[in-house]
Chains A and B, each alone.
Chain A
C-alpha cells in the first residue's frame, strides 16, 4: 500500500486554479516537490496536511481518505506539516515547544528529539530568543514531537547558510534511515537531492513530471518549465 496517494486533486482560489488535477502516489521514503515560484507547491502541501480542502479529488494516507479531515485528525493518523516561515511558540522554551505535541501519538521522548535535531544545548531557552538557524531546527523538531510516519516539510533549508543547510540535510538523512517518510518542498534542489528518492514537478498547478531524480533533469517538460520557453526542452 502506498504511503500517500493523490487522485485528480484540484484547488481553485476564485478564478485561479492553484492546483490542477494532480495525481501521484508515494511508495518511497522521500519525495521532493519542485517547481518555479507560483507552481502550487505550498498549496499542494497545505491540501495534503488538511489546512486547505481540495475543490475536487481524493487524498489518501495509508489507504484512508483524509481530504475532508481537520488538520489535528490528520496529525493523529501520523502525518504532520512544518512551516516554511518558522512559527515557534515564542514565549515557551524549546523543550516546552516540543512537549506541546509529545502526547499526541503515544508518548514521544522529547530528550531524544532534542538530541537528534541538535537542540539539546538550548532546551531551556525561550524559542523567541533563538537565532534563525536553530528556529529552522525547532520547526523540524516540533514536527517530530508527534512521532509522525510522514513529515511534510515546506522549504526546510530555505534561508539557511550552506553549512547550516548541510547540517539539517544530515539530520533529515538520519530520519530517513529511521523510517520516517518525507514530502519536501524545496527550491535548493541540489542540496536536498542526495536524500530524495523520487521527484514530483509542478508548473502552473499542473503535474509535469513524476519519477526518479535521475530522470528529472532529462525530462523536456521540466527543462521547459525552468528555462522559460515551451520548446526549450525540445
Chain B
C-alpha cells in the first residue's frame, strides 16, 4: 500500500503537533543542556561549537526553504551572509550602533533588499542557468565590495570591536536557539500552507504547474527574498559572536556546511536540518581536536559515508524505527 500523507492545510491541532514533534523537543533539550554545561571549562569549546552550529542551522534552514523546497539550487547564499556580517560591522563601526537587536534587524533588512534585487532578474531562469547566475552574480558583487573596501573608509583587515551577542557562549546559544525555534515554526507554517504546497509543486514540475494556471514567479521571489534575509541575519549573528567582520565572511565555505546539513537532515525535511546541524558541527569540532591538520580529509570522508548510508537524511531511519516500534505484533 502506498504511503498515505493525509490532508494538507493549516489547523491548530496540526500546528501543535508540529511544535511538539519529538525531534524538535529533543533538539531544544539538547540545546538547553549544552548551554547549561557550557558555562565552564572544558565544555566551553563545545558550547562555542554549538553557537556556530546554531548559525549554520539558520543558514541551512534558509537554504532548505528556498532551494530544498523549490529545487532551485541557490549557491549565492554566502554573499548575503557576508553582506549581513558587513552591515553589522559597518553600522557598529561608522555609526557606533551598539544595540545587538538593531544591528540584527539592519542586517536582516539589507539581506531582504539585496535578496529581492538578486532574485527578481535571476528567477526568470530555471535549472542550471539559475544556479550558474546564483554563483556568478554574488561573486561579482563580492569582488566589487572587496575592491572598494578601503575606498569606503573601511579598516583594511575588517571591522573589529563589534558588540558581542552575549556575555557567554551559553547566553548566545539561548538567543540563537530561540530565534531558530521561531524561524523553524515560521518555516513549518509556511510549508504546511498553500504557499508551501506551491513550492513543492515547483520542485516536482514547474512547467506543468504554470501551464495549468499557477504563476510561479511571485512564490519563488518571496521565498528567495526571505532566505536571503535569513542569511543576512545569520551573518550579523556570526559577526557578533566573533566580534569581527572582514572580507573572509564572504567566503564560499559558508555554503558547504549548510548544504551538508540539509543533505544529512533530508532535503525539504526542515526539522532534520536542526538535528543534522548539531551532529555535523559537533563531529567537526571533535575532528578538529582529534585530527588537527587531517581534520578536513577525515571530516569529508565521514560526510561521504553519512550521505551514502543515510541518503534520505537522518530522520528517515529514526521515523522507520519509531514506526517499527509502534507496529503491533501479529497475534
* Residues of A bordering B, CB below 8 Å: 49, 51, 70-72, 75-76, 80-83, 87, 89-93, 95-96, 99-101, 103-104, 124-126, 129-130, 142-143, 146
Contacts of B6 in A (CB 8 A): 93, 124
* Residues of B bordering A, CB below 8 Å: 2-9, 194, 197-198, 200-201, 203-205, 208-215
Q: Name the contact of A95 in the complex, choosing from B8, B198, B200, B215 (C-beta under 8 A).
A: B8
A-B contacts, 29 listed (Cβ < 8 Å)? A71-B211, A71-B213, A72-B215, A81-B211, A87-B205, A87-B208, A89-B205, A89-B208, A89-B209, A90-B204, A92-B5, A92-B197, A92-B200, A92-B201, A96-B5, A96-B200, A99-B8, A99-B9, A99-B197, A100-B201, A101-B212, A101-B214, A103-B194, A104-B214, A124-B6, A125-B4, A126-B3, A142-B212, A143-B212
CB–CB B5/A75 < 8 A: no
What distance in Å separates the Cβ of B2 from its nearest Cβ neighbour in chain A? 3
CB–CB A93/B213 < 8 A: no
Closest to B203 in A: A91
Provided the pairs A80-B212, A91-B203, A99-B8 are in contact, do residues A130 and B2 lie with their beta carbons within 8 angstroms? yes
What distance in Å separates the Cβ of B223 from its nearest Cβ neighbour in chain A? 16
Complex Cα distance, B214 from A72, in Å, reads 6
Contacts of B211 in A (CB 8 A): 49, 51, 71-72, 81
Complex Cα distance, B209 from A146, in Å, reads 12
Provided the pairs A72-B215, A100-B198, A103-B194 are in contact, do residues A93 and B5 lie with their beta carbons within 8 angstroms? yes
Closest to B4 in A: A124
Most buried by B among A76, A83, A96: A96
What distance in Å separates the Cβ of B154 from its nearest Cβ neighbour in chain A? 45
CB–CB B5/A126 < 8 A: yes
Contacts of A96 in B (CB 8 A): 5, 8, 197, 200
Complex Cα distance, B8 from A101, in Å, reads 14
Complex Cα distance, B194 from A126, in Å, reads 17
Complex Cα distance, B194 from A125, in Å, reads 18
Contacts of A129 in B (CB 8 A): 2-3
What distance in Å separates the Cβ of B200 from its nearest Cβ neighbour in chain A? 6
Contacts of A130 in B (CB 8 A): 2
Contacts of B194 in A (CB 8 A): 99, 103
Complex Cα distance, B197 from A95, in Å, reads 11
CB–CB A146/B8 < 8 A: no
Complex Cα distance, B211 from A79, in Å, reads 11
Contacts of A87 in B (CB 8 A): 205, 208
What distance in Å separates the Cβ of B190 from its nearest Cβ neighbour in chain A? 15
Provided the pairs A96-B197, A99-B194 are in contact, do residues A91 and B204 lie with their beta carbons within 8 angstroms? yes
Q: Name the contact of B213 in the complex, choosing from A92, A99, A126, A146 (C-beta under 8 A).
A: A146
Q: Which 8 residue pairs of A and B lie closest in terms of their CB atoms, listed nearest first?
A: A75-B213, A129-B2, A89-B204, A87-B208, A124-B4, A93-B5, A72-B215, A104-B213
CB–CB B2/A125 < 8 A: yes
What distance in Å separates the Cβ of B219 from its nearest Cβ neighbour in chain A? 11
What distance in Å separates the Cβ of A64 from its nearest Cβ neighbour in chain B? 16
Complex Cα distance, B215 from A104, in Å, reads 10
CB–CB B208/A83 < 8 A: yes
Closest to B207 in A: A87
CB–CB A95/B7 < 8 A: yes
Contacts of A126 in B (CB 8 A): 2-3, 5
Closest to B7 in A: A95
What distance in Å separates the Cβ of B43 from its nearest Cβ neighbour in chain A? 41
What distance in Å separates the Cβ of A82 from its nearest Cβ neighbour in chain B? 8
Complex Cα distance, B2 from A227, in Å, reads 46
Contacts of A146 in B (CB 8 A): 212-213
Q: Name the contact of B3 in the complex, choosing from A95, A125, A142 (C-beta under 8 A).
A: A125
What distance in Å separates the Cβ of A120 from its nearest Cβ neighbour in chain B? 13
CB–CB B200/A91 < 8 A: yes
**Contacts A126-B2, A146-B212 known; 16 new A-B pairs at CB < 8 A:** A49-B211, A51-B211, A70-B215, A71-B213, A75-B212, A76-B213, A80-B212, A81-B212, A91-B204, A95-B7, A99-B197, A100-B197, A126-B5, A129-B3, A130-B2, A146-B213
What distance in Å separates the Cβ of B255 from its nearest Cβ neighbour in chain A? 25
Contacts of B215 in A (CB 8 A): 70, 72
What distance in Å separates the Cβ of A129 from its nearest Cβ neighbour in chain B? 3
